[in-house]
Amino acid sequence: MASTESEVALKFRFFQVYKDGRIQLFWPHWDKIPPYDDPITGVRSKDVTISSEPPVSARIFLPKLTNPNNHHKFPLLFYVHGGGFSMMSAFSPHYHNFCSSVSAQAGVIVVSIEYGLFPERRLPACYEDSWAALQWVASHVGGNGPEPWLNDHVNFKKVFFGGDSAGGNISHTLVYRVGAIGLPGVKVDGVILVHPFFGGTEDDEMWLFMNPIHGGLKDPKLKPPAEDLAKLGSERVLIFVAEKDDLNVAGKNYYEELKKSGWRGRVELIENHGEDHCFHLRHPTYETALQLTNKFVSFIKNDS
């Protein structure tokens, strides 16, 4: 008879659970690259520690300054990476390159968050880490926070949230929280959700397993109710869904429910036809990936 050490009790998309409680991630390791200054675009990047316990950090991207001595103010994009709540990193090449490109094209400071991942830190740690990071960013509103780039160069009246997949889900919870309780000195102009994860898919049970503190299939983080959607603290929302993505229907349902919720902002849905989940990160030079990035940028610049 096989021991419980080798018997699988549960199997999900990103990991499996053995009968002895051990959890095995299917993709446990991801490449990370250090921050660097891009000689072509002029975008600079650096890493900052937001909290040591729990460990929360971020990579900041600063667009090219025409005069290094001036205090030009840029919009800010608070970006939350995807990865099924259990993998990927703000420091991976995929996300570094995407955030650097958006920073250069949109002329926006990007704060890309490194939050706690399952199973080392079970949900709702990712939500709390991201909220703590957002509060850290907001601590610079008066120009006396710990990070000079944010003190000197952020226009806090033009802030955006963005995220893909799990990061889209987390971004929703952030903009809801801002709408519900506020974030003094910060005005959220828009939110961009790329192929966001919400309930109504085969991954629902995986999310519930990762989150021991949940409200079942109707948990507001999994399936946002109308009363939460109506409180979104943003004037605009842009949602991308991909035709071949398992999360396609969930993203469209979010769009429809948001329109019916009583929220007074403007929402737009774009479907990436013929594409799969987060294709733009894997193949950033494809025509459809460039179209997605261009729309992402134009939404921030508000010239779409």
Sign of CA dihedral 232, 265, 158, 143: negative
Separation CA 147–CA 302 (nearest Å): 27
Q: Which residues are CB-neighbours of 285 under 8 A, at least 6 positions away?
A: none
Residue 203 DSSP label: T
45 is catalytic: no
Alpha-carbon dihedral angle through residues 253, 75, 111, 90, given to the nearest 10 degrees: 50
For residue 54, cis peptide bond before it (omega within 30 degrees of 0): yes
CB count within 10 Å of CB 59 equals: 25
> 153, 172, 195, 277: which one is catalytic?
277
> 89, 92, 130, 165: which one is catalytic?
165
165 is catalytic: yes
Using H for helix, E for strand and C for coil, what is the string for 219-240?
CCCCCCCHHHHCCCCCCEEEEE
CB count within 10 Å of CB 303 equals: 7
52 is catalytic: no
Q: What share of residues in the chain are helix, strand, coil (percent, to 5)?
A: 30, 25, 45
> 86, 245, 261, 280: which one is catalytic?
245
Separation CA 241–CA 281 (nearest Å): 14
Strand order in the sheet with 74-80: 44-52, 55-62, 109-114, 74-80, 154-164, 188-194, 236-242, 266-272
Residues known to be catalytic: 165, 245, 277
